Amino acid sequence: MIITPTSAYQSIAFMKYDRPKLTTSKRVLARGHLVAGTLATALLVAAVSHPASAQICLRGVNLAGGEFGGSEGDYGQSYIYPSVETLDWAASRQMTAIRLPFKWERLQPKLNGPFDSAELTRLVEIVRQANGRGLTVILDPHNYAEYQNDRLGKGNVTAADFANFWSQLAPVFSGNPLVVYGLMNEPTDIGSAVWFEAAQAGLDAIRATGANNLVLVPGNIWSGASHWFDDQEGGSNAELFQNISDSADNFAFEFHQYMDDNFSGTNPTCPRVKDAILALEGVTGWMRQYGYKGFLGEFGGTSAPDCLAGLDEFGDYLASQRDIWIGWTAWAAGDWWGDYPLSLQPDAGVDKPQINVLKPYFQDLDRQCG
């Protein structure tokens, strides 16, 4: 398959979002409404234009903040996009990509309705700023396969609604090789066949607009590599997604994998590094068998010694399998993390120990992947 992208909380407890037995209040519905189409076209003219070139390894961090907030809240108070200083930092560390979480509900306040003009403007502008620094942006609707607490396939939200969302977003960045479309963050608590239908519908909707951008397709159950082969009603991720279809033949599978005792990314130490690597080896073999590529959208740990050693092992393993893995983004930097133990955000200009471990992989001279 063709892979074409190029180089480029406040007071939050020790947690990693929606995990089993965890709760989240990060669901804010932005106010206002306007049609996206005309506005998007006008804004896109101002975006940076880049020709497609070699397949560059996408290596960087998640820049969290756009997905923060409660059920109500304003920009700059409940949620935030990366600052210029944070983007400068990412570029200065020779990262080539950032994964940018945001909320489906904020961009599209009503299912099948028009996009919110203010939120779309913010999203286009942060992409423009990142692209201008040579950073590929992976757009990440950080919703766990739900919309306003309504789980896809279990209530009023359907695969058609999900397809409508992507039919409006895809044209905004169509043809920009420095923008990658991540279909959905960590689908969970959803039937495997239901998620496969929605993923295929989203991918088809993107291609129907004429957009040929790289698309990242996640699996069910938190996108976990460790869950790829799990038995589910309707079939495992491995069984279902070997049949994914893309008319542009430009997609990769997105996996997440943590190293703590339950693979959740919510614990202070990383005792399961070897098990996590085995999970990556398993999906690597599956992708090699079927001729697919992969992207590791989330992994990370605290500054505990076993976590730092694990980050190094992850970087080394993924570099050794660069024919399959097109890159990765570690979890997570962002301006509002405060003392969150997994934060990768620099402290007064000083890099976190986790970033110091990852730097050699950012700066790897052999940058070709896939």
Selected catalytic residue, list 67, 105, 254, 298: 298
Q: Is the pLDDT of residue 39 over 70?
A: no
38 vs 262 pLDDT, higher one: 262
Whole-number pLDDT of residue 21: 29
Whole-number pLDDT of residue 40: 40
Selected catalytic residue, list 186, 197, 254, 313: 186
What is the residue-averaged pLDDT of the chain? 87
**Residue among 216, 5, 255 nearest 127 (CA):** 5
Whole-number pLDDT of residue 367: 78
CA dist., res. 170 & res. 30, Å (int) = 21
Neighbouring CB atoms inside 10 A of 346's CB total 15
Whole-number pLDDT of residue 71: 60
- Chain segment 127-140, per-residue pLDDT in tens: 999 999 999 999 99
Whole-number pLDDT of residue 16: 39
Bridge partners, 75 (sequence order): 79
Provide mean pLDDT across the span 242-263: 98
Whole-number pLDDT of residue 306: 98
Cβ–Cβ < 8 Å for 163, 205:
yes
**Residue among 254, 146, 240, 245 nearest 193 (CA):** 240
pTM higher than the cut 0.75: yes
Whole-number pLDDT of residue 350: 98
- Chain segment 43-59, per-residue pLDDT in tens: 443 333 333 334 889 99
- Chain segment 324-341, per-residue pLDDT in tens: 999 999 999 999 999 999
Cβ–Cβ < 8 Å for 65, 82:
yes
Angle in degrees, CA 236, 312, 221, rounded to 5: 20
Compute CA distances 22 → 19, 63, 265, whole Å.
Answer: 5, 21, 12
Which of 24-33, 183-192, 317-326 is predicted with the least confidence, judged by mean pLDDT? Answer: 24-33
Q: Is 186 annotated as catalytic?
A: yes
Q: Is the pLDDT of residue 38 over 50?
A: no
**Residue among 132, 161, 154 nearest 141 (CA):** 161
pLDDT over 70 percentage in the chain: 85
Neighbouring CB atoms inside 10 A of 114's CB total 16
Whole-number pLDDT of residue 96: 97
Q: Is the pLDDT of residue 270 over 60?
A: yes
CA dist., res. 287 & res. 27, Å (int) = 34
- Chain segment 60-117, per-residue pLDDT in tens: 999 999 999 966 789 999 999 999 999 999 999 999 999 999 999 999 999 999 999 9
Q: Is 197 annotated as catalytic?
A: no
Return the CATH number of the domain spanning residue range 36-362.
3.20.20.80
